[in-house]
Chain A
């Protein structure tokens, strides 16, 4: 262990004198996230504007208010903005969400009309697909706008009813009209909203994991550099195991990765107002993501014969996985080929883990942590076998 630390300490000293590590690990992701946030942040939910979202409607009420909401949805559907599928039961709707058949469902409770007409608060429930944050957000907005208008219309209608100006059955019409009003209040339970990242967090997280790929590759690249520069000969000639050299290099990458990621979390929280979620969950995700990316990039780099070749290979893999994993823009359609393919990348699992954490508990991140750990183990073993080939004179 002493030897491994000795090698890692030397590499850390060398890297700290190389300014590129700070640029790749800290400056670039922060600067890009800041720019992305400025450009897209205010309209991140418009990213999928040209996409037609699939929504489900579970009408357990069948009353006038529910009919009015159905009309609102039908109007949007006629404008080709969304498509609506009706489900007879809440269970069927939730299954459709879990399967990714729809981006979100809106559940109209059985007592919706009666509660509205009696002046009691009502609750619309939105269940969003965690893999379609944009679609879920839009569904929440539709429900929120309707319920907000409904609340204000209800107040007005109740006053009118009380004074005998309006027939109580006309409240539905008033509510439908009010559905188009700007939001004034929130009465809906927006479940989907708790499972997506805000723009600043999304961009910082996505770009952090993207640039992590470049940092993570440094370990194996430095082995190839040591071979090129002749110092590998000296390392091998010394009374240390070759596996210690590999472990020292991997430790360097992991430490640099962890420091860069944690610094980014703190900085983006303080400077950009990013909301990463519970620290322990974030730490779990960061550790597992760094291990996964280091293992993956060590394997990729180990396939190369020279440091230059390794750098090129790693760049190709980093950019490809970054695009696939939704680093730069969210992939709005989880049922598409691309939507499914992205879960082959550590990027997508890291972002998903953060999304799960943003409104859920630490336990919600465990599936993502487990997948990232699995990637680390599988590629770590593969990297070890190819890295042995690099530890030669």
Chain B
């Protein structure tokens, strides 16, 4: 955590009668960082987001936005948050521009700045050409983009995206993910909930695996994978003295295991990207020629399965 995190959630709790929906959830997000909250439906992601966004009163714990406490009653921290709800939260009978203008005014934007921000967001979400069409006439992907655009209007310090790609076509989905990457690169802190493994892997600097209201594990993808004993796999197809190659490879630091069969050498390593160049150099040094290389990094699916005992799609 940097000197002051953009978001710091500590020991959040929420009960609905007998259901303990969120149990002691803690995490933080720094500027320019994307935090993925990964979990199946009903895991407590949306409830956590609702407490972080000041929509829902918590039964315990604290949320700080750049050091300011966020509750259902506080207004100032809300100016620093851009919330993109899971369900489309737009007015279909208003045009894209009218939707953006209305919400911009709620964030006290006015005059020249309001116009500039609306135009800028229309550009970012790719709806400039359709700005004066009613949102109800848009495709699903365009509506999603407008939904996200509203959250960007006031240039928040923290952008909260709750499953923003649900029901979106692949093209729009990719556009959304690219936008999130760009925003994060610009220094925005992003809290991204999803139950799509590949989105968490692509976007998140750190991932919190949540299930049954609890953060089961948290860290970078590598940390999570290592936490459950998974390793990167490098498969090298080569011709030459493979036995000596295997022997030299086994001696390299970071190599867990090496095997060879039918002209293919398989290495299990801690970090494939760090070892790949050295491994290929070792193969070449032994007089073998490489015809193909495949690097497989273990995904979060295995980590998730290990931590929660169930596949994410459950």
B100-108, B165-173, B213-221, B238-246: which lies at the interface: B100-108
A337-393: which residues lie under 8 A (CB-CB) from chain B? 393
Find out whether the CB atom of A230 lies under 8 angstroms from the CB atom of B89.
Answer: yes
Complex CA distance for A18 and B105, rounded to whole angstroms: 23
B108 to chain A, nearest CB (A): 7
Known: A14-B94, A230-B85. A6 touches B75 (CB 8 A): no
Which one of A14, A229, A234, A241 contacts B103 once the chains associate, using CB atoms below 8 Å? A234
Find out whether the CB atom of B85 lies under 8 angstroms from the CB atom of A6.
Answer: no
Inside 8 A of A230's CB, which chain B residues have their CB? 85, 87-89
B92 (CB) vs chain A CBs: closest residue: A229
Q: Is A235 an interface residue (CB 8 A)?
A: yes
A212-231: which residues lie under 8 A (CB-CB) from chain B? 229-231
B75 to chain A, nearest CB (A): 4
B contact patch SS: loop
Q: Is B312 an interface residue (CB 8 A)?
A: no
Interface mask (A1-35 → B, CB under 8 Å = 1, otherwise 0)? 01100100010011001100000000000000000
Find out whether the CB atom of B75 lies under 8 angstroms from the CB atom of A240.
Answer: yes
Known: A13-B98, A238-B107, A239-B106. A233 touches B93 (CB 8 A): no
Complex CA distance for A237 and B88, rounded to whole angstroms: 14
B76-84, B121-129, B250-258: which lies at the interface: B76-84
Which one of B81, B94, B150 contacts A10 once the chains associate, using CB atoms below 8 Å? B94
Complex CA distance for A240 and B105, rounded to whole angstroms: 11
Interface mask (B141-167 → A, CB under 8 Å = 1, otherwise 0)? 000000000100000000000000000
Find out whether the CB atom of A237 lies under 8 angstroms from the CB atom of B75.
Answer: no
Q: Is B90 an interface residue (CB 8 A)?
A: yes
Find out whether the CB atom of B94 lies under 8 angstroms from the CB atom of A6.
Answer: no
Find out whether the CB atom of B89 lies under 8 angstroms from the CB atom of A238.
Answer: no
Known: A229-B89, A230-B89. A238 touches B94 (CB 8 A): no
Q: Is A236 an interface residue (CB 8 A)?
A: yes
A18 to chain B, nearest CB (A): 7
A sample of 18 inter-chain contacts (CB < 8 A) reads A2-B105, A3-B105, A6-B106, A10-B94, A10-B102, A14-B91, A14-B94, A17-B93, A18-B93, A229-B88, A230-B85, A231-B89, A231-B90, A233-B55, A233-B83, A234-B89, A237-B55, A239-B78
- Additional A-B contact list (14), CB under 8 Å, known A236-B55, A237-B81, A393-B56: A10-B98, A14-B91, A17-B93, A229-B89, A230-B88, A231-B91, A234-B89, A237-B78, A237-B83, A238-B106, A238-B107, A239-B76, A239-B78, A241-B75
Top 8 A-B pairs ranked by shortest CB distance? A230-B87, A239-B78, A238-B106, A237-B83, A230-B89, A234-B89, A239-B75, A6-B105
Binding site for A on B (CB under 8 A): 50, 53-56, 75-76, 78-79, 81, 83, 85, 87-91, 93-94, 98, 102-103, 105-108, 150
Binding site for B on A (CB under 8 A): 2-3, 6, 10, 13-14, 17-18, 229-231, 233-241, 393
